[in-house]
Amino acid sequence: MRKKQIIIFIVLIAFVTLIIFGVQRGAKLPSSEGLAVENTIIASDQLAGKMVSVDTVELVVGGFIVIHEDNFGFPIDILGVSDYIESGVYHNFPVSLQEKSSIGDKMFAVIHEDNGDRLFDPEFDFSVMDENKKNVMSAFIIE
């Protein structure tokens, strides 16, 4: 009986250690959705600054979150890029911008698929398309 209590204690300590030290800024968090089954991204309007936060992103395969400037409803210039992200479900994922955003700026958070080298290159890491051949993206405004 004592041996069983020790094993349970060790498993509990390992779990608590994982929770405390394993969850970092932008880390993949446990989610009721489990593995991503569809590429999805949601970004809400947010305050001006040098960083934006993507509410939720689901990646079927590894890639990047790329923040683009809006040009009449279309994503154009790149304003910021995340590090490589493994497939999975992420919440409140921060992406640094190259320059501070301003009130009224319109942007898009777009999923880009990695070409295999885990380094973002806009010439080779293309935006992910949905079943209707449209970019998987979310528009938001800086307030």
Q: Would you tell me how many other CB atoms lie within 10 Å of the CB of residue 62?
A: 14
User: Average pLDDT, stretch 104-130?
Assistant: 97
| Model pLDDT for residues 38-64, shown as the tens digit of each residue | 999 999 999 999 999 999 999 999 999
pLDDT at 5: 59
> Any residues with CB less than 8 A from the CB of 96 and at least 6 apart, and which?
50, 51, 80
Nearest Cα to 90, choosing from 54, 114, 126? 54
As to burial, measured by CB atoms within 10 angstroms (0-12 exposed, 13-18 middle, 19+ buried), residue 57 is buried
Contact 88, 121 (CB under 8 A): no
Identity of residue 97: L
Answer yes or no: are the C-beta atoms of 113 and 69 closer than 8 Å.
no
Question: What is the SS3 assignment for 116?
Answer: coil
pLDDT band at 7 (very low <50, low <70, confident <90, very high): low
Question: What tens digit of pLDDT does each residue of 62-109 get?
Answer: 999 999 999 999 999 999 999 999 999 999 999 999 999 999 999 999
